[in-house]
Amino acid sequence: MIKTAILGLGNVGKGVASVLTGNRAEIARKVPGGLELGYILDIRDFPDSPFADKVTHDYEEILNDPEVKVICETMGGKEPAFTFSRRALEKGISVCTSNKELVEARGRELLEIAREHNCSYLFEASVGGGIPLIAPLLNCLEQERISSIFGILNGTTNYILTKMDRFGAGYEEVLKEAQELGYAERNPEADVEGYDTGRKIAILSSLVSGKTVRFEDTYTEGITKICPADFVYAEEHHYCIKLLGISSRMEDESFNVLTAPYLVPQGHPLYAVSDVFNGIFIHGNMVDDLMFYGRGAGTLPTGSAVVADMIQAALSIGKTIPIRWDKERVDLKPHSELVSTFFVRTDLSEQEAVRKAFDGKIADDWSLPAFPDEYAFLTGPMSEAEFAALAEKLKFKTRIRVLC
Ligand SMILES: NC(=O)c1ccc[n+]([C@@H]2O[C@H](COP(=O)([O-])OP(=O)(O)OC[C@H]3O[C@@H](n4cnc5c(N)ncnc54)[C@H](OP(=O)(O)O)[C@@H]3O)[C@@H](O)[C@H]2O)c1
């Protein structure tokens, strides 16, 4: 039996507690004697919770119990989560987390500390919630040269975009509904501005490259400017709109990493990933295309992914589960060099100026009778820099990249 602790009894922490207790027998089949929930650290008390007797407000009590070998950090944020994780690892206690903000910013340091103290730092739940993604990437695809990894990594924005698409509703209206349903936080910035997806694709890029990709070095664009008319055009031309995190490896080992809304064609598997679900596409040079699909968030799915890591950590006491993530920065291609096809909407009055500026670069006229005052078109493939130069003096209502 291995004694464990939960740091932070919020949404994910409660899920971890439920999985540890509800699936006790399943876990015991894997870990001899099972995983015992010894402590829950939180600021608050939870008198009505079945776990009330486990709650402590004193982290030292957990650190000073020599029987505690594995903890999960489900507090979120950078501090005190970093300090708590570091202190546990320095005592040889493995840490499993869902905290993508901390993993993206300081995961590499914590992996190094874990290595120095013969324990593990694991973060399956930090990307894709309940979807097993990091473990397959590290354990089943080590032999592959991964050339791209991209997908829908944020359930909140996928829910918003799905509702806007299905009901023709405006962004603000759907965001409010998502907040009422608890799918979006009161401060939705991290989700809707693409920061959450950006952090996740940065983590995946670091794991794929074995080097460091920092979120702040990547291009990030959110969904706040997407409007109902965009969905009408998209649907007429057999596309939907999704917020994608994209990481591509170039021949010269540099990477293109970005987060932005994309038009996804009907035939693509990501087209069907709706509501709060996530879908992640991986291309390996030998295995070809792989897709991972499931609940990217939620109490039980995310708790389940954390417990999966806790089991692995418990089976490796005294050893480190290796994860390669070097300090050296990945060579990131400048965003201006990224080549895309763009969907553009503009006022009809701009049509002549647009045609002149984009002479020979317009691949398709997407104008619709439903919008007689607009001119819409699809460009041919061009770099971000070229698009920006051609568009410099023009006023666009919408500019969305297209997934090819
Ligand atoms: N929710 C999801 O579905 C999901 C999915 C994947 C990943 N994540 C990530 O998982 C982490 C946790 O998310 P969550 O949704 O569970 O957050 P949450 O509901 O806010 O839970 C965090 C818990 O930690 C407690 N806490 C905060 N600071 C603490 C401290 N210094 N000492 C002890 N306890 C402390 C909080 O107490 P108070 O409430 O009193 O502040 C709260 O109970 C975040 O990094 C999040 O991004 C969440």
Per residue in 260-284, pLDDT (tens digit) is 999 999 999 999 999 999 999 999 9
In this structure, are residues 38 and 54 in contact, taking their beta carbons and an 8 Å threshold?
yes
Lowest mean pLDDT among 1-15, 137-151, 182-196, 247-261: 182-196
Does 11 sit in the ligand 1 pocket, CB within 6 Å? yes
Q: Is 100 in the pocket of ligand 1 (CB under 6 A)?
A: yes
The per-residue pLDDT for 215 is 97
Q: Is the CB of 96 under 6 A from ligand 1?
A: no
pLDDT bucket at 250, cuts 50 / 70 / 90: very high
**Burial (CB count <10 Å: 0-12, 13-18, 19+), residue 286:** exposed
8 CA to centre of ligand 1 in angstroms? 6
The helix (run of H) or strand (run of E) holding residue 376 is: strand 374-379
Give me the mean pLDDT over the 72-83 stretch.
98
> Is residue 56 lining ligand 1, measured as CB closer than 6 Å?
no
> What is the rounded distance in angstroms from the CA atom of residue 261 to the CA atom of residue 87?
39
Say yes or no to pLDDT of 46 above 90: yes
Residue 225's Cα: distance from chain center in Å?
20
Q: Answer whether residue 238 shows pLDDT above 90.
A: yes
Q: What is the pTM of this model?
A: 0.97
What is the pLDDT, as a whole number, of residue 184? 85
> Could you give the strand order of the β-sheet that contains 35-41, starting from the edge strand earlier in sequence?
55-56, 35-41, 2-7, 68-73, 94-97, 121-122
- Domains observed in the chain: 2-130+300-314 (3.40.50.720), 139-295 (3.30.360.10), 335-402 (3.30.70)
Does 276 contact ligand 1 (Cβ within 6 A)? no
Q: Is the CB of 101 within 6 Å of ligand 1?
A: yes
pLDDT of residue 183: 82
Percent of the chain clearing pLDDT 70 (strictly above): 100
pLDDT at position 181, please? Answer: 84
To test ligand 1's pocket by mutation, which of 6, 9, 12, 277 has the most ligand atoms within 8 angstroms of CB? 12
Q: Higher confidence at residue 186 or residue 396?
A: 396
Q: Is the CB of 5 under 6 A from ligand 1?
A: no
Residue 146: pLDDT band with limits 50, 70, 90: very high
**Ligand 1 centroid vs 12 CA: distance in angstroms?**
7
Q: Which atom of ligand 1 is nearest to the CA of 77?
A: 45
180: which 2 tokens? 């009422």
Mean pLDDT of all residues in 291-300: 95
Query: For residues 122 and 95, is the Cβ–Cβ distance under 8 A?
Result: yes
> For residue range 187-229, what is the model confidence (pLDDT) as tens digits?
999 999 999 999 999 999 999 999 999 999 999 999 999 999 9
Binned at pLDDT 50, 70 and 90, residue 257 comes out as very high
**Is residue 71 a contact partner of residue 94, using CB atoms and an 8 Å limit?**
yes
Question: Cα(42) to centroid of ligand 1, in Å?
Answer: 10
Pocket test for ligand 1, best of 51, 75, 159, 278 (most atoms within 8 A of CB): 75
Backbone angles phi, psi at 217, to 5 degrees: -90, 0
Residues 6+ apart with CB under 8 A from 283: 146, 147, 148, 149, 289, 290
297 lines ligand 1 (CB under 6 A): yes
For residue 365, what pLDDT band results from cuts at 50, 70 and 90? very high
DSSP H or E segment with residue 22: helix 11-22
Q: Report which of 261, 253, 114, 250 is spatially closest to residue 197, judged by C-alpha positions.
A: 261
Q: Phi first, then psi: what are they for 76, rounded to 5°?
A: 85, 165
Measured in whole angstroms, the distance separating CA 262 from the mean position of its chain's CA atoms is 16
Atom 34 of ligand 1: nearest residue by CA position: 42
Regarding the beta carbon of 69 and ligand 1, being less than 6 Å apart is answered no
CB < 8 Å & 24+ apart, contacts of 44-49: 44/9, 46/9, 49/9
Query: Closest residue (by CA) to atom 4 of ligand 1?
Result: 297
Measured in Å, residue 308 CA sits from the centre of ligand 1 at: 19
Distance, CA 74 to ligand 1 centroid (Å)? 5
The yes-or-no verdict on residue 182 having pLDDT over 90 is no
10 CA to centre of ligand 1 in angstroms: 5
**Omega prior to 369 cis, within 30 of 0:** no
Evaluate: CB of 298 within 6 angstroms of ligand 1: yes
- The catalytic site residues sit at 200
How high is the mean pLDDT of the chain? 97
Residue 55 pLDDT > 90, yes or no? yes
The CA R_g of the chain, rounded to the nearest whole Å, is 23
Q: Residue 73 C-alpha to ligand 1 middle, in angstroms? A: 9
Could you identify the atom of ligand 1 that is nearest to the CA of residue 97? 10
CB atoms within 10 A of CB 30: 13
DSSP 333: P
